[in-house]
Structure 1
């Protein structure tokens, strides 16, 4: 069952209007799979018939269902472990020194999907409680998918999802097993974070000025122009000395002037104006 070019264009326009994301080639090949359940539930025979119904606007909520189905909610605990180690054991120590007086950190996980990234950070802070005693650690996860945010708030994951990227000791320590090989993260961790439906093209969530921003494997779905706009928004939402973490295949090079590579922690990024100037080397006379 293939979708026509005209229907593909309609879907692409809908996705970009609602989320800012493009219907990339990697997403186009899975349109049929993504929308199959909607066809079945609504008794619609073909993808083109679904799009025709969508265009008429006679089916309330259909556009929301289609957008939700097309979004990529791929994520897992401690995804690409090395940048998490770089953040937690390296760059965060710099912020710890800079915030020693107020003892407050604000962290934004933008495009957090079903919440594993947020809970990964929360568990890391909880396991180093002596170091972070008396600190206020505010971690907020946002995503454009309402269904993903609801799952994140529930803290309920399958056996496969929990084992994917999460060491066994952490699984046993921070999760309770439920019926049907489901695992729910303990209230201590779940209550230490918050989740919010949010699009990156909107103003940032509160408090609006973050010390750490994770925006991983999201911007690759945006057009170059939209990506620059989002980078500007992330810069405006970050403290001057904030840390930015992107996905493994993402970079700021050629994408924005707002951020540059952190010279002390390669793989992380910081605001351009905060990068220390390199003094010119003096040359002795004669």
Structure 2
């Protein structure tokens, strides 16, 4: 019976190493149970009796399809519409304030580690509701390492459970249609977001500079050296004075001189002008 066989330490280590190599994410020792739990559907689908058998196939496979599937199911894709709504309301307020300073230049926003798309679609709804503040709708670029997660975001298809997490009825009706048992985002909403596959730990950021970068609850799964590298990449994509939004349990303190706490928007971080970064580090 699948799951009865206790996996060997070698199998667990190899699978954990595959995840870290592909994505930079680490699974803490006290959460190793997630590996076996998350991979049970893969074992059933492929008729494999244990994780050791799965590792055997991984080592013997010439195709990367199995490795892609394993990594995909191990990624933490926890997300919801309007997650931490107070934070997103502050993002919208910051965007309005920035646009007032920018004049007619289009605002650019990057949702990094967007999972299945609820965060960038939530932003698109917020900005549409504040359309009078923007001469053009802000450009929203959403990236994730998972091709499967991005495909769901592009399709804009969500279950009843997913749609009810954070979305009031008014927004559900305005922005989504029901198709059989799913809720499907209307084309006007989906086309407000550009979905792109990108590995934060290995790939260059999307082209151009951004005024707002959201990278929430992603750094938690990286080692400290890797967090520093990712902050460098984010800084390379940030305009001086732009804002970085992290998760509640994340910080830039002690990890980078490229960002400093915002004096205006509590909990956000302001990108430091590279010309003054050494001064910021010394202060």
State whether TM-score is above 0.5.
yes
Alpha-carbon distance between aligned partners in 1 of 2:92 and 2:7, rounded to the nearest angstrom: 45
Q: Once the two structures are superposed, what CA deviation does each residue of 1:194-220 show, in whole Å capped at 9, x if it has no partner?
A: 1011100210113x3111100011111
Name the residue aligned to 1:183.
Answer: 183
Report deviation, 1:187.
Answer: 1.0
Residues in 1 aligned to 2:259 and 2:234: alpha-carbon distance in whole angstroms: 9
Aligned to 2:153: 152
Task: Describe the superposition over 1:242-271 as per-residue Cα deviations: whole angstroms up to 9, x where unpaired.
Answer: 111111111111222211110111111111
CA contact (8 A) 2:232 2:258 kept: yes
- SS at 1:44's partner residue? coil
Does residue 124 of structure 1 match 2:126? yes
Aligned-partner SS, 1:104: coil
SS in 2 for 1:252: coil
**Which among 99, 102, 108 is matched to residue 99 of structure 1?**
102
Unaligned runs of 5+ in 2: none
Residues 14-163 of structure 1 mapped to structure 2, 5 A cutoff: 14-25=18-29, 27-58=31-62, 60-89=64-93, 91-100=94-103, 102-132=104-134, 134-163=135-164
The DSSP-based 3-state class of the residue aligned with 2:78 is coil
Question: How many residue pairs were aligned?
Answer: 273
Contact 1:34 1:69 in 2 (8 A): yes
Q: What RMSD in Å do the two structures reach over aligned CA positions?
A: 2.0
Please name the residue that 1:3 is paired with: 7
User: Which protein has greater RCO, CA pairs closer than 8 Å, 6+ apart?
Assistant: 1
Contact 2:241–2:272 (Cα < 8 Å) also in 1: no
TM-score by length of 2: 0.91
3-state SS, counterpart of residue 41 of structure 1: helix
| Offset, 1:239 | 0.6
Q: What is the rounded CA distance, in whole Å, between the counterparts of 1:219 and 1:243 in structure 2? A: 17
Q: Give the structure-1-normalised TM-score.
A: 0.90
Distance of 2:72 and 2:31 partners within structure 1: 13
Q: Secondary structure of 1:171's partner?
A: helix
Gap regions ≥5 residues in structure 1: 279-286
